[in-house]
Amino acid sequence: MHKVEGVILDWAGTTVDFGCFAPVNVFIDIFKHAGIDVTMEEARAPMGMLKIDHIREMLMMPRVSGLWEAKFGRRFNEQDVEDLYAEFEPALMSSLKEYTDPIPRVVETVQKLKEMGLKVGSTTGYTQSMMDVVVPHAASKSYSPDFYITPDGTNSLGRPYPYMIYRNMEALKLSAVCKVIKVGDTVSDIKEGVNAGVWSVGVIIGSSELGLSLDEFNALSKIDQETAIAKTEQTFIQNGADFTMKSISELPQLVERINHLIAEGKRPYTRVEKIE
């Protein structure tokens, strides 16, 4: 059958937690406690990675690294990474359940995908202990994929490595990478899909890359909304996305489009376009 068999979705910023605010605020706080003021953009840039890797990436940013050296008189080391993460995890865990509301249209879209006969998997930058909070709270609000895995299940090799996608394919019995779509809201998500060889799709509204709450997005003028959407779309495309969508509600339509491409012998990375 020349058709998509499964869709693998990210969690925060894609299916729950509009704008992906749960982790970003904690990243800013732990650096502030260390005497380093990081920007919202710096805190978001590595989003989607395993959280300890995210902290390491932030410390490697030239401006942040420079601030660290100025304050402590030395470059950061791995103990600093571990110390920051030791503060990050309990702080995130204390508020995580408050950020498990499904993003608008997610529940209906996932139901439609399942009615189309597709398996719905998921990957995340959260650890298993974090997902032990997120999964049941999301389920109580009607969002439940068929499978999920964390970097804990791939020897801490999270995004942009492809291994979580492959574990989804194994668990869901998906037969080929060209019949799988990965959907996410960060550059790390896009690279995860690219590295796995599946169709890699960026969703824009509600994304960490867009970086706005629902109220902030709705408060923008139509022109400003379109400008922000276009900027996010370009970032995804520059990092290898095969497609972008404004909203996850466009996903069933995209599945049908990709079905036609597969039937024509097309494979991921052969064309990039925006779903209108």
List pLDDT tens digits, range 127-156. 999 999 999 999 999 999 999 999 999 999
The catalytic position among 10, 17, 53, 189 is: 10
d(CA 53, CA 48): 10
Widest distance between CA atoms in the chain: 61
**Is 179 annotated in the active site?**
no
Q: Tens digits of per-residue pLDDT, 46-76?
A: 999 999 999 999 999 999 999 999 999 999 9
Identify whether residues 36 and 144 lie together within a single domain: no
Question: According to the annotation, is 37 in a ligand binding site?
Answer: no
Identify whether residues 190 and 259 lie together within a single domain: yes
d(CA 138, CA 123): 15
Identify whether residues 46 and 110 lie together within a single domain: no
pTM value > 0.95: no
3-state secondary structure of 9: strand
Last-in-domain residue among 97, 130, 146: 97
Q: Over the range 130-143, which residues count as b (16 or more CB within 10 Å of their CB) and which as e?
A: bbebbbebbeeeeb
Identify whether residues 135 and 213 lie together within a single domain: yes
Cβ contacts of 62-65, under 8 Å, gap ≥ 24: 64/31, 64/36, 64/38
Percent of all residues in the chain with a pLDDT value above 90, rounded to a whole number: 95
pLDDT at 191: 96
Identify whether residues 202 and 242 lie together within a single domain: yes
**Is 101 annotated in the active site?**
no
Under 8 Å between Cβ of 16 and 130: no
The catalytic position among 17, 51, 179, 242 is: 51
Identify whether residues 73 and 119 lie together within a single domain: no
Identify whether residues 63 and 181 lie together within a single domain: no
For residue 106, what is the domain's CATH number? 3.40.50.1000
Report how far apart the first and last C-alpha atoms of the chain are (Å, whole number): 27
Last-in-domain residue among 48, 67, 97: 97
Identify whether residues 141 and 224 lie together within a single domain: yes
Residue 77 lies in a domain: yes
pLDDT at 1: 66
Last-in-domain residue among 77, 97, 117: 97
Residue 121 lies in a domain: yes
Identify whether residues 165 and 214 lie together within a single domain: yes
Residue 205 has pLDDT above 60, yes or no: yes
d(CA 38, CA 64): 7
The number of residues making up the chain comes to 276
Identify whether residues 162 and 185 lie together within a single domain: yes
How many folded domains does the chain comprise? 2
Domain holding 260, by residue range, is: 6-20+99-274
Identify whether residues 138 and 180 lie together within a single domain: yes
Instruction: Supply the DSSP symbol for 218.
Output: H
Identify whether residues 87 and 129 lie together within a single domain: no
d(CA 32, CA 237): 33
Instruction: Supply the DSSP symbol for 6.
Output: E
Question: According to the annotation, is 12 in a ligand binding site?
Answer: yes
Under 8 Å between Cβ of 158 and 164: yes
